[in-house]
């Protein structure tokens, strides 16, 4: 995994700090002005060379503390095998962020920090993830489910509703 999380005295202050997540190849970049760019590695050239450029710019200001974004290898139910999932958000350096995957056979992911951005990835069938932040009283729960407006999945057997609705591991990041 390619990871740089701090700047050295001779580093260019305008150069972003960069992390490439190993399984997904999602790139997390952070600049000292507090802006960030998170995107799949394969999409970076298109994003950087977009003509005309995005009117909002490609470097985004920090999202609110409760905002969580995600990437998936494919829409739930499209693949008949486990796939990668990525969650990320923003948090100050003193905020502890933990993520729990609600699957007995999937370890909780390492939460990486790049400047003000936290990010994690794991490989599993579509599932639920719980995000606990030390600066918030409640745990957020993210569900990786196929949107209702989409046609039936080619592999409905891997969807959460079919595999395990109502069944969880019983583990929670708050109970550890």
Q: How many whole angstroms separate alpha carbon 75 and alpha carbon 85?
A: 10
C-alpha 54 chain-centroid distance:
22
How does pLDDT run across 98-146, given as a tens digit for each residue?
999 999 999 999 999 999 999 999 999 999 999 999 999 999 999 999 9
Backbone angles phi, psi at 117, to 5 degrees: -105, 140
Helix (H, G, I), strand (E, B) or coil at 108: coil
Q: What is the DSSP string of 129-164?
A: EEEEETT-SS-EEEE----TTSPPPS-GGGSHHHHH
Q: Hey, which of 9-18, 46-55, 56-65, 73-82 has the most confident mean pLDDT?
A: 73-82
Give the whole-number percent of the chain exceeding pLDDT 90: 62
Please give the pLDDT value at position 49: 78
pTM of the model: 0.81
Residue 56 vs residue 72, higher pLDDT: 72
28: pLDDT strictly greater than 60: yes
How far, in Å, are 34, 55, 99, 112, 139 from residue 134 at the CA level?
21, 35, 12, 15, 10
Residue 76 has pLDDT above 80, yes or no: yes
């Amino acid at each position: 995994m390619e990871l740089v999380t701090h700047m050295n005295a001779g580093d260019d202050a305008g150069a972003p700090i960069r992390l490439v997540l190993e399984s997904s190849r999602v790139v997390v970049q952070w600049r000292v002005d507090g802006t960030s760019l998170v995107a799949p590695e394969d999409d970076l050239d298109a994003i950087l060379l977009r003509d005309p450029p995005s009117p909002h710019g490609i470097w985004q200001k920090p999202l609110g503390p409760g905002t969580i974004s995600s990437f998936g290898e494919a829409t739930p139910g499209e693949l008949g095998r486990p796939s990668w999932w990525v969650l990320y958000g923003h948090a100050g350096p003193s905020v502890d962020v933990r993520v729990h995957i609600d699957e007995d056979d999937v370890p909780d992911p390492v939460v990486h920090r790049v400047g003000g951005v936290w990010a994690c990835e794991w490989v599993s069938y579509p599932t639920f993830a719980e995000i606990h932040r030390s600066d918030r009283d409640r745990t957020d729960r993210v569900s990786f489910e196929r949107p209702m407006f989409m046609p039936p999945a080619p592999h409905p057997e891997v969807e959460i509703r079919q595999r395990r609705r109502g069944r969880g591991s019983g583990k929670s990041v708050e109970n550890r």
